[in-house]
Amino acid sequence: MKQTVYLILLFLTISFNSFAKDIKGIYKVYVYFLPVGEVVFDIRGDRATVKGETYKSLRWIYNYTFRFEASPEGYFLYEKENKKEKVYKNQQIEKKKPWLPLIVKYIMEGKKPDTENDPHFPYKIEEKGDRVIIYPLKSKKVKKIIIKLSKNSRLPEKIDIEGKIDITLERIK
């Protein structure tokens, strides 16, 4: 009997820990003030998948779809822009789309990225109240990323990406 109770408690603890690490959030994406699509963050343990696409009603103007994956083995990004397809890995992503791995690292680790111990991402970080501001130092397209933290979740309430084109992600679920 004692062994059975112990096994049940062990199972519940393992189950709770594995479910507690799974996070999913859906964001509405704006370019300047126009809603253009949605992005889904899906974090499961030490792996993350981020998918996004423009709304179907806007695809005749601009059609963009992407899938980003982060794991202990590295990063992978597939994107399709209009009819052109591209695949990036690890440091290519850090140069072309620095905001994706920085935001995903923040969400997965539940804390701000460590600039001292991360040689792959040259960036500066400021914390101001409920906001974390990340300045990618080697990006030509992104000037800064402002993450508005949530009190109830590791997923941010809002992400502003300021650069050549200003993009805002607002959490809807």
Cα separation, 101 vs 93, in Å, equals 8
**Arch. (CATH architecture) of 24-171:** Clam (2.50)
Nearest to 67, CA basis, from 91, 92, 85, 94: 85
What tokens were used for 104?
């995903």
CA distance 135 to 122: 9
In whole angstroms, give the CA distance from residue 76 to residue 152.
29
Token representation of residue 66: 């992407």
Q: Which residues of the chain have pLDDT under 50?
A: 1-20
pTM: 0.79
Domain ranges of the chain: 24-171
Structure confidence by residue, pLDDT tens digits, 99-123: 788 788 878 876 666 666 666 667 7
